[in-house]
Amino acid sequence: MNISALLTSAGINITICVVLLSLYSILRKQPSLVNVYFGQRLAQVQSKRHDLFCFDRLVPSASWILKACETSEEEIFSAGGLDAVVFLRMLVFSIRIFSIAAIICIFLVLPLNYFGQEMQHKQIPSESLDVFTIGNVKLGSRWLWAHCLALYVISFCACILLYTEYKSITKKRLAYVTGSPLNPSQFTVLVRAIPWSSGESYSDSVRKFFSNYYASSYLSHQMVYQSGTVQKLMNDAEKIYRMLKSAPMEQHCGLSLMRCGLCGGTAQPFKVLSSEPESANGRSDYADSDLREKECAAALIFFRTRYAALVASQALQSPNPMLWVTDLAPEPKDIYWTNLCVSYRLLWIRRTATLLASVLFMIFYLVPVTIVQSIAHLDKLQKIFPFLRGISERKFLIQLITGYLPSVILMLFLYIVPPLMMLFSTLEGSISRSGRKRSACIKILYFLIWNVFFAQIFTGTAIDRVGKISSAKDIPNQLARAVPSAATFFMTYVLTSGWASLSCELVQPFALLCHLFERFVLRNKDDPSCGTYTFPYHTEVSRVLLFVLLGFTFSILAPLMLPFLLVYFLLAYLVYRNQILNVYITKYQTGGLYWPVVHKTTIFSLVLTQIIALGVFGLKESTVASSFTIPLIICTLLFNEYCRRRFQPVFTSFPAQVLIEMDWQDQQCGRMEEIHQQLRSAYYQFTSISSKQCKAAHPSHCESEDGDGVQDLEDKAPGEKSTIVQETQVERLHLEIEELNVK
Amino acid sequence: MNISALLTSAGINITICVVLLSLYSILRKQPSLVNVYFGQRLAQVQSKRHDLFCFDRLVPSASWILKACETSEEEIFSAGGLDAVVFLRMLVFSIRIFSIAAIICIFLVLPLNYFGQEMQHKQIPSESLDVFTIGNVKLGSRWLWAHCLALYVISFCACILLYTEYKSITKKRLAYVTGSPLNPSQFTVLVRAIPWSSGESYSDSVRKFFSNYYASSYLSHQMVYQSGTVQKLMNDAEKIYRMLKSAPMEQHCGLSLMRCGLCGGTAQPFKVLSSEPESANGRSDYADSDLREKECAAALIFFRTRYAALVASQALQSPNPMLWVTDLAPEPKDIYWTNLCVSYRLLWIRRTATLLASVLFMIFYLVPVTIVQSIAHLDKLQKIFPFLRGISERKFLIQLITGYLPSVILMLFLYIVPPLMMLFSTLEGSISRSGRKRSACIKILYFLIWNVFFAQIFTGTAIDRVGKISSAKDIPNQLARAVPSAATFFMTYVLTSGWASLSCELVQPFALLCHLFERFVLRNKDDPSCGTYTFPYHTEVSRVLLFVLLGFTFSILAPLMLPFLLVYFLLAYLVYRNQILNVYITKYQTGGLYWPVVHKTTIFSLVLTQIIALGVFGLKESTVASSFTIPLIICTLLFNEYCRRRFQPVFTSFPAQVLIEMDWQDQQCGRMEEIHQQLRSAYYQFTSISSKQCKAAHPSHCESEDGDGVQDLEDKAPGEKSTIVQETQVERLHLEIEELNVK
């Protein structure tokens, strides 16, 4: 590939980006598409729709860029939670470190590579891109010192930036913990593997155990029920109830307040089920004994103080470590009820099996892809399907099929990966939605690093030589041979996969098509059944981290990549800010747990860069430079170890000091009793479908009652109720209705 | 090597063993050697020496074997603690599994190997040993099914035995925890990295922090002092004091009781120092300000209940994880005071450095050894030292030097390993002596597996072929080629290193020589300054586990090794029982923490065996047998994972349920106050030298006062005081003296 080809490719991609961005700036002004582009805003405020047409709606504008830039971190935090802040900090870190790297490498390393006298120069437009890589530097050249120096400066700056980011995010996480005093999950412990005793129910065992050993701090508990059967029974009952009531309900259609009250009313008996059996009063349709049979060996235990819950979650409860397994409970909206019922004894088998499955999938992913790709070539297809022979006479079609079919197949296979990894994480038995997403994120990250980075480097360039790695000592040399020659491929990868995917992210083609299909084909005007999504951290974090890896590894070897990457990161910063503010809703979050993943991956990228540089210096016969790289590797690893000890524990546990002080404050304010009251109704395993159906019929009226007007397409699972604040709003509504009735 | 050579070698070793055992049975009857062979008994009871000579003392007898067999597990537990029981259970497990393996392999596998038709048979005495290995089975033979079956049976039996052992040892550990109600370490938490504040001392910070956040459970605390300086000051002061007092003391030499009282009396002011500063009364020679400057950023915190201590030890205390780091404290005799003062910020650097150093030592250990060995050959020595040329004319001397020098050098290098690994573990910053020994044990184990097993297999037999491992897939094949041919070497290794080392262990040549040297050269008749040792678990556990590895890997490949191994394990069982009962004293123990190490290593051996078998079956072109081995490997790994989850947590933490119940019992008995009183005097950082010197002058009188009449040569460190029980004995003695004075 030469410079003119690269510039052409860049030009095409820039054009695509500009067109898509303009398209977005027009589409977002269309009131009918407000569901697609302002899901987050919709969830917050009830929008007032005005379908007035004006010319301004068809003019592309850059106002969204300005808005995205102006937004403060507090606004991001309130819209997307701590995870969104962490995600944007990752992008800020990337922009900073690659700005530094670009300045150093383009002004110091690039000229040295270009005037390196190893290859012959042509005219600049048809100059090969290899001339700009380290491959052009002479054997044993003194100039390799400059490369080594650049590596030192980049590693040093990266470590400083990583340290400051880790420190500030740790502070933010602590502020997040202390800033949510009404968080019921801090008082709640999830206990699993409750032992079965023939005489008593699980609920009795739990009460006995905790009121015995945690007498002073145990408040109450709530059993988890087998969701499949109970949910089905309840839905059936509700359907029949609704059928019976449907005729009279239609008559009152105008009185929206009354109907919503009714929805809440019908939901009442089913809500009670999920709280403690003794509080299940006569209104319940199911006998206690029926429910008891549906009890899982898992329960949520509520404690009087946060510290007591923390202590109970950390201790080994029983002499048999497979019984009474405790964990801090996830937040009510975050909890993944289906997995709570999984027998704890099966959990480790599930975990091992999914680990094995995902490792095998990662390793052997390329095998079926290459096989399918090789079959997809026309000459082989003709052998299987003889009727295709007619095509072979038309040259254009041949080019189209042989040129595009393999890459289309690769793309299709790549689209399978995120849902599959999400499935693996679900099967693994994650108890929270956010934990499942984080686990999927790590899996996709491994997948991308292995199947995009290493597979491309090894299969694309040096498969014949790499086949014979005779010892561990040879790995740097093999990498050093393979990596620089893969530079041109990854440069176009940044252009196509990076830039183009950002534009697609902005336009949201899938949601747009889904919306248009509903509107014009199904003629369903109002209902946003496509729903709004939560932010896909699992795909986006891993994609950005792959680009970080590319940036580090190619920084001193092929510095020409850095400007393209820098543009990608700047664009990503704007686009994701906009998306977090406008499109995605935040139902659950990990509380900044993505940062340790980012940190570790960045350190991995740094060390890999240094190992490759070690190999390159060795190949170029500069022993001094290569021996100076070894202490750098050791220092980077030591830095990582220090950060792990200094910051990591805050991300795995809560500091006792902080929780105790929060407990004191609540006790002094006299807020504790109120919190205890709210705890009892914080976790609902089952939501009745009635409220959903009511909403489906008249969404605009009911959305104010239930905050769950948004729907999480990835997370179709037994529903969850809104937060405490929204519950109280509903209660207030009930009171208002009652007051009206009295009058 | 042929059969007759093997039998000769076995005969020689058997003779050596018999001679040494007989020598031992005579030596142990000599009253003058009672210090060498009955250190444990001496520490328990004050022996009455009778130097009456009788003929019976010179007749070898097997009475010790009978005694070793008759002892019950309770006696072993009371003599050697839980660790000794675990060690012997490891031997029992080995005897059981290798009995099964021997029966199966000798009656099923060995005949198949022998009649395998791959090699030519000779007359039985000169038959090569290779005829008995799997190498003699024909390619693609159907008989390999029998090998596969044997492998399945051995793996299955090993897993069942491992499971039952793990289960019973877990029970024993729980019983050990509940069975020591007066153990002060259960109430104590070690806190390190106390933050420095300019206004107040460390002690004040500790009091403020714990009385603030742990108000209900905090009892008191005890600072740790920089041992180097204080110890030196105290020793100096004591020396002067003793010089001043020495003249009058000599006059009272007859009144042993009075003098012992005096020893105790002088020790008093120095004991007080180590407790809380406010309790240091006027008798102290050092001002508080002096002591404050010597305070380390570490302290022992005493809690009111066991559960409170457990909770405090597990929680992350402060938002900065590098401050207020808590751990459960080791037992008073187990604590390693010098390491407590190491700055916590340096600790991770130390750990990383020692890890790196020990890994490098392990990998490159063979390099200097081979270099020295190659230099040790006579022809090269002659070049360096020309005066040696005269020797080359005498054939006998040449044979001696070239034959023995390399192996002597190897042995010398091997003797360095345990002390070096112990040094590494000390530098690592272990806070307890038992933890240090366990860490050294793991290091030595890795060392032996790598440098004896793998190094011998690869360098001894197939270095040229193994140099080119092209992929991970090839490793089983390479191992399969190398392992069977190493069988003869390891058979002789079992004979020499196994059997002979056991006889040496029994006779204790080092302690014997040390004793004889003192007695006849130094003319020092009574003082056992060579002292008695604690059991060297770090060397013995790792050695036995190496033989377990050998047993598994060679069981189906070269079954002829199993009888020799079985004899080793039986002999080891007798010898170590005897040694634990008679020789070694138990000052500290890990509480069974060696079993997880044993379990993991056994699983590793099993999986390695299966991988090698996989390779062998592959080489012998029996694809069915080799594909049947893969599920076996997976099942073994799953079994390991299950055991890890089922039993491991009990070995890393204490179950809350158990500790809470212990607390209840003590509260109901009203024993809590008593325990709290004893806690204040349980941990002594400094022992005064006066009692030691008093003892040195008149050991027979003072030993009853202070249980520390024994000395741990490996663990020369600031002393530790005896247990609570012994303390109370001393107090009783004081009272008796006072009563005498009053009368």
Q: How confident is the model at residue A135 (pLDDT cuts 50, 70, 90)?
A: confident
Q: Does A667 touch chain B (CB under 8 A)?
A: no
Verify whether the Cβ–Cβ distance A657 to B319 is below 8 Å: yes
Q: How confident is the model at residue B434 (pLDDT cuts 50, 70, 90)?
A: very high
pLDDT of residue A381: 64
Q: How confident is the model at residue A376 (pLDDT cuts 50, 70, 90)?
A: low
Q: Assess whether pLDDT exceeds 60 at residue A340.
A: yes
- Per-residue pLDDT, averaged over A275-286, amounts to 40
What is the distance in angstroms between the CA of the first residue and the CA of the last residue of chain B? 82
Q: Give CA–CA dist A27/A21, Å, rounded.
A: 10
Strands A325-328 and B188-192 come out as: unpaired
The string of DSSP codes covering B544-586 is HHHHHHHHHHHHTT-TTHHHHHHHHHHHHHHHHHHHHHHT-B-
Q: Assess whether pLDDT exceeds 50 at residue A343.
A: yes
Q: Assess whether pLDDT exceeds 70 at residue A474.
A: no
pLDDT of residue A101: 94
pLDDT of residue A543: 92
Q: Assess whether pLDDT exceeds 90 at residue B134.
A: no
Q: Give CA–CA dist A275/A684, Å, rounded.
A: 8
- In tens, the pLDDT along A201-259 reads 888 899 999 999 998 889 889 888 887 666 666 667 777 777 776 544 444 433 333 33
- In tens, the pLDDT along B38-81 reads 777 666 655 444 555 666 667 777 777 888 788 888 888 888 88
Q: Could you tell me which residue, A299 or B34, shows the higher pLDDT?
A: A299
Least confident window among A38-47, B461-470, B648-657: B461-470
- Per-residue pLDDT, averaged over B355-360, amounts to 90
Q: Could you tell me which residue, A92 or B459, shows the higher pLDDT?
A: A92
For residue A660, give the chain B residue with the closest CA. Answer: B213
pLDDT of residue A281: 39
Which residues of chain B are within 8 Å of residue A315 when distances are taken between CB atoms? 310-311, 314, 653, 656
Q: Mutation test of the interface with chain B: which of A320, A470, A633, choosing the one with the most B Cβ atoms within 10 A? A: A320
Q: How confident is the model at residue A276 (pLDDT cuts 50, 70, 90)?
A: very low
DSSP assigned state of A196: P
pLDDT of residue B531: 62
Q: Does B641 touch chain A (CB under 8 A)?
A: yes
Least confident window among A113-127, A458-472, B532-546: A458-472
Per the prediction, chain A carries an average pLDDT of 77
- Per-residue pLDDT, averaged over B161-186, amounts to 90
φ, ψ (nearest 5 deg) of residue A226: -60, 115
Percent of chain A surpassing pLDDT 70: 71
For residue A353, give the chain B residue with the closest CA. Answer: B638
Q: How confident is the model at residue A404 (pLDDT cuts 50, 70, 90)?
A: low
pLDDT of residue B438: 93
Residues paired with B137 in a beta bridge: B117
Q: How confident is the model at residue A341 (pLDDT cuts 50, 70, 90)?
A: confident
- In tens, the pLDDT along B439-480 reads 999 999 999 998 888 877 776 544 444 444 445 566 777 777
Q: How far is B562 from chain A (nearest CA, A)?
A: 35
pLDDT of residue A264: 36
Q: How confident is the model at residue B374 (pLDDT cuts 50, 70, 90)?
A: low
- Per-residue pLDDT, averaged over A340-356, amounts to 87
Q: Give CA–CA dist B728/B732, Å, rounded.
A: 6
pLDDT of residue B265: 36
Which residues of chain A are within 8 Å of residue B217 when distances are taken between CB atoms? none
Q: Could you tell me which residue, B221 or B129, shows the higher pLDDT?
A: B221
Q: How confident is the model at residue B118 (pLDDT cuts 50, 70, 90)?
A: low
Residues paired with A259 in a beta bridge: none
- Per-residue pLDDT, averaged over A167-196, amounts to 89
- Per-residue pLDDT, averaged over A258-280, amounts to 38
Q: Assess whether pLDDT exceeds 50 at residue B703.
A: no
Q: Does A646 touch chain B (CB under 8 A)?
A: yes
Q: How confident is the model at residue A711 (pLDDT cuts 50, 70, 90)?
A: very low
pLDDT of residue B153: 94
pLDDT of residue A301: 92
0.90 surpassed by complex ipTM: no
Q: Does A175 touch chain B (CB under 8 A)?
A: no
Q: Give CA–CA dist B612/B597, Å, rounded.
A: 22
Q: Give CA–CA dist B178/B661, Å, rounded.
A: 9
Least confident window among A567-581, B598-612, B729-743: B729-743
pLDDT of residue B47: 47
Q: Does B490 touch chain A (CB under 8 A)?
A: no
Residue of A241, A48, A285, A252 whose CA lies nearest to A693: A241
Q: Does A320 touch chain B (CB under 8 A)?
A: yes
Runs of H (alpha helix) within B317-394:
337-340, 344-364, 366-375, 378-384
Q: Assess whether pLDDT exceeds 50 at residue B429.
A: yes
Q: Mutation test of the interface with chain A: which of B212, B305, B316, B464, choosing the one with the most A Cβ atoms within 10 A? A: B316
Q: How confident is the model at residue A484 (pLDDT cuts 50, 70, 90)?
A: confident
Q: Give CA–CA dist A580/A576, Å, rounded.
A: 6
Q: How confident is the model at residue A466 (pLDDT cuts 50, 70, 90)?
A: very low
Q: How far is A680 from chain B (nearest CA, A)?
A: 26
Least confident window among B235-244, B387-396, B559-568: B387-396
pLDDT of residue A507: 82
What is the distance in angstroms between the CA of the first residue and the CA of the last residue of chain A? 82
For residue B210, give the chain A residue with the closest CA. Answer: A657
Can you give the three-state secondary structure of A300-353, one letter per residue?
EEEECCHHHHHHHHHCCCCCCCCCCEEEECCCCCCECHHHHCCCHHHHHHHHHH
Q: Could you tell me which residue, A341 or A570, shows the higher pLDDT?
A: A570
Retrieve residue B580's tokens.
């634990």
Distance of CA A727 to the CA centre of its chain: 28
Least confident window among A166-180, A525-539, B259-273: B259-273
Q: How confident is the model at residue A596 (pLDDT cuts 50, 70, 90)?
A: very high
- In tens, the pLDDT along A409-453 reads 777 778 889 999 999 999 988 899 999 999 999 999 999 998 888
Could you give the 3-state DSSP secondary structure of residue A133? Answer: coil
Verify whether the Cβ–Cβ distance B318 to A655 is below 8 Å: yes
Q: Assess whether pLDDT exceeds 80 at residue A87.
A: yes
Which residues of chain A are within 8 Å of residue B348 when distances are taken between CB atoms? 641-642, 645
- Per-residue pLDDT, averaged over B91-120, amounts to 87
Nearest to B213 among A348, A638, A657 (CB): A657
Q: Assess whether pLDDT exceeds 70 at residue A593.
A: yes
Least confident window among A137-151, A514-528, A564-578, B637-651: A514-528
Q: How far is A348 from chain B (nearest CA, A)?
A: 8
Q: Assess whether pLDDT exceeds 50 at residue B320.
A: yes
pLDDT of residue A736: 47
Q: How confident is the model at residue B161 (pLDDT cuts 50, 70, 90)?
A: very high
CB within 8 Å of B418: residues ≥ 6 apart: B440, B444, B536, B538, B539
Q: Is B713 exposed, middle or buried (0-12, 13-18, 19+ CB in 10 A)?
A: middle
Least confident window among A52-61, B495-504, B587-596: A52-61
Q: Give CA–CA dist A664/A678, Å, rounded.
A: 18
Q: Assess whether pLDDT exceeds 50 at residue A166.
A: yes
For residue A637, give the chain B residue with the closest CA. Answer: B352
- In tens, the pLDDT along A508-527 reads 888 888 888 877 777 765 55
- Per-residue pLDDT, averaged over B516-526, amounts to 73
- Per-residue pLDDT, averaged over B333-347, amounts to 86
Q: Does A656 touch chain B (CB under 8 A)?
A: yes
Q: Assess whether pLDDT exceeds 80 at residue B522.
A: no
Q: How confident is the model at residue B372 (pLDDT cuts 50, 70, 90)?
A: low
pLDDT of residue B375: 61
Residue of A336, A185, A81, A260 whose CA lies nearest to A723: A185
Q: Does B642 touch chain A (CB under 8 A)?
A: yes
Verify whether the Cβ–Cβ distance A638 to B316 is below 8 Å: no
pLDDT of residue B363: 83
Q: Assess whether pLDDT exceeds 80 at residue B306.
A: yes
Q: Does B349 touch chain A (CB under 8 A)?
A: yes
For residue A210, give the chain B residue with the closest CA. Answer: B657
Retrieve residue B99's tokens.
């009995």
Least confident window among A65-69, B202-206, B538-542, B695-699: B695-699
| A235, A696 Cβ separation under 8 angstroms | no
Which residues of chain A are within 8 Å of residue B321 when distances are taken between CB atoms? 645-650, 655
pLDDT of residue B295: 82
